[in-house]
Chains A and B, each alone.
Chain A
């Protein structure tokens, strides 16, 4: 898979993540009466004391992160994509996102003892984005477009 294809996939996955985060954020703000939650305990997770991080709802952080990653991926498709800082920024963002996702998943499993379907989907998106960006290659300075 070429670097360009990877960035396109990252942009699309991040865009899906934007809508999931927006949905949870709007619920958090009271726009929806109830969450659609096929399996799991979305209400339990979303109304827990851990549903806020540094004073803001977690879905707000998710929305900002997904929008940022989507923009970096799309920008990476342009002439700026070859700059080391562009690769480094995206690599740092997806690494931070993965660590935060691991933290949230651990909270669900070990502290809240409830799992939210949307959080699981978001965690899977984060892992896929991380694997597509391959930040370990950016750190080593490998050419981004290499397959």
Chain B
């Protein structure tokens, strides 16, 4: 009968190495999450003096007097942005940015890819008819239906109809790229803050690098609103 391999000379050392790799890998995975929860970015504190973009170029929801300001830079083609919007952003805005809410939420379109400009322009066109957030959520929710489309504007016009917008005005807006400059401003503002990836989230001027899930963000908001953060 053949001798079972792996139990001969060096077998114990091999399994010890396996154990070391498992423990080290596990610790590294845990540590990677735990490091640098927030990163101070001084430019946010002087946001009124941007290089070329404008803080007001973002779409805002919530009171100016809210104790918490959350700034979100997102790309409609970014899967993590879609996930963040679906699992955190949408619910947080719903629960914290309504009347008397503790969060002023400002969303900045930050196109990373050439194909990301069309949806960003469409969202801004919807904003002209006070439907930015509805279009924002719809663009994320239906990304699989427009991302492969050679002319996604046709789809966006259908979405506009679904949302009850003046589809003629909306179509004219997206096809004429009338809001291109506004998107350029939101992108430029992000660049001036050092944003280079999405989603990038700032919580009262501090960049949030982890716990972007609903529970983590809600806990942070509640603590800030209670004045204990």
Bound CA span A44–B113, Å: 9
Q: Are B21 and A12 in contact (CB under 8 A)?
A: yes
Q: How many residues of A contact B (CB 8 A)?
A: 35
Q: A12-B21, A23-B29, A77-B6 in contact; A43/B196 too (CB < 8 A)?
A: yes
Is B6 a contact of A33 with CB atoms below 8 Å? no
Q: Which residue of B lies closest to A144 (CB)?
A: B5
Report yes or no: B5 in contact with A30, Cβ–Cβ below 8 A: no
| B198, CB-defined interface residue at 8 Å | yes
In the complex, what's the smallest C-beta–C-beta distance from A128 to chain B, in angstroms?
15
Contacting residues, chain A, for B10 (C-beta < 8 A): 5, 8
**A39 interfacial contact with B, CB 8 Å:** no
CB of B32 within 8 A of CB of A49, answer: no
How far is B28's CA from A18's CA once the two chains are assembled, in angstroms? 13
- A34 engages B84 (CB within 8 Å): no
Residue among B6, B83, B209 making CB contact with A34, cutoff 8 Å = B209
Given contacts A8-B14, A12-B18, A18-B25, contact A33 B5 (CB under 8 A): no
With a CB–CB cut-off of 8 A, which chain A residues contact B191?
none
* CB-CB contacts below 8 Å: A17-63 with B: 18-19, 22-23, 26, 28-34, 36, 43-44, 47, 49, 51-52
Chain A residue numbers with a CB within 8 Å of B8 are 4
Interface of A is mostly: helix
Q: Tell whether, in the assembled complex, residue A19 and residue B78 are in contact, meaning their CB atoms are under 8 Å apart.
A: no
Stretch at the interface among A78-86, A87-95, A102-110, A135-143: A78-86
- Alpha-carbon distance between A36 and B33 when the two chains are bound, in angstroms: 10
Establish whether residues B198 and A47, one from each chain, have CB atoms under 8 Å apart when the complex forms.
Answer: yes
Alpha-carbon separation in the docked complex, A28 to B83 (Å):
10
A sample of 15 cross-chain residue pairs with beta-carbon separation below 8 angstroms, ordered by A number, consists of A4-B5, A12-B14, A16-B25, A19-B21, A23-B32, A29-B83, A30-B212, A31-B33, A47-B112, A47-B197, A76-B5, A78-B4, A78-B6, A79-B1, A79-B2
Q: Please report A residues at the B interface, Cβ cutoff 8 Å.
A: 4-5, 7-8, 11-12, 15-16, 18-19, 22-23, 26, 28-34, 36, 43-44, 47, 49, 51-52, 74, 76-79, 81-82, 145
